[in-house]
């Protein structure tokens, strides 16, 4: 009787060990891209970026994701502050700099309260160095889906000694 009980205990333990190993290998093998970040307006990137660039960036692994919130005053983002940061604070200052000054058109008729804006910033480690891709969306009800209430910006960061080679201009 003891042998049957012992065998019965080994099977659940082996099954538990197998489940842990499989889940760990699946988690290690998954690459984080723009298409698997919850709440990221992938459709906005798809409509704003040229198709070739979008498809390249959609499959590129993301190094960090930041979420910045601010206000729209005179069609310009101001007062940006980091709401969510996955870069351990490394990219917070540059994220605020990217967000502040982005311009987007809004409808603010008859109110003195500025519209709020949300800026999604993706940090990529591309072959030429670290780059940030940001999209700002008017956070007003219904405006997030309108193309004229969006702004997109890509910026070379140059952190950690990365250098971007300047492009030669033909004269």
pLDDT tens track, the chain, 171 positions: 554 554 555 555 554 544 444 444 444 446 889 888 888 888 888 888 888 988 888 889 999 999 999 988 888 889 999 999 988 889 999 999 999 988 887 666 666 777 888 899 999 888 888 888 888 887 776 555 555 556 677 778 765 544 554 444 444
Do the domain assignments include residue 26? no
Do the domain assignments include residue 120? yes
Distance, in Å, from the CA atom of 99 to the CA atom of 79, rounded to the nearest integer, reads 9
Verdict on whether the full-model pTM lies above 0.85: no
Do the domain assignments include residue 70? yes
For the chain, where are the E strands, in sequence order?
62-73, 76-85, 115-126, 129-138, 150-156
Do the domain assignments include residue 61? yes
Residue 72 structural domain: 34-160
SS3 137: strand
Distance, in Å, from the CA atom of 65 to the CA atom of 135, rounded to the nearest integer, reads 12
Question: How many domains does the structure of the chain reveal?
Answer: 1
């Amino acid at each position: 009787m003891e042998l049957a009980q012992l065998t019965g205990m080994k099977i659940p333990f082996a099954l538990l060990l197998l489940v842990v190993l499989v889940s760990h290998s699946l988690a290690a093998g998954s690459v984080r891209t723009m298409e698997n970040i919850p709440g990221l307006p992938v459709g906005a990137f798809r409509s704003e970026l040229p198709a070739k660039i979008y498809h390249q960036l959609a499959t590129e692994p993301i190094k960090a994701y930041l979420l910045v919130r601010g206000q729209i005053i005179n069609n310009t983002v101001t007062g940006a502050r980091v709401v969510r940061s996955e870069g351990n604070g490394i990219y917070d200052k540059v994220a605020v700099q990217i967000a502040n000054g982005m311009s987007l058109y809004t409808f603010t008729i008859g109110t003195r309260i500025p519209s709020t804006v949300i800026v999604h910033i993706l940090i990529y480690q591309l072959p030429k160095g670290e780059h940030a891709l940001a999209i700002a969306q008017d956070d007003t009800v219904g405006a997030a889906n309108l193309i004229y209430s969006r702004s997109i910006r890509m910026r070379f960061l140059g952190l950690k000694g990365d250098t971007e080679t300047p492009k030669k201009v033909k004269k």
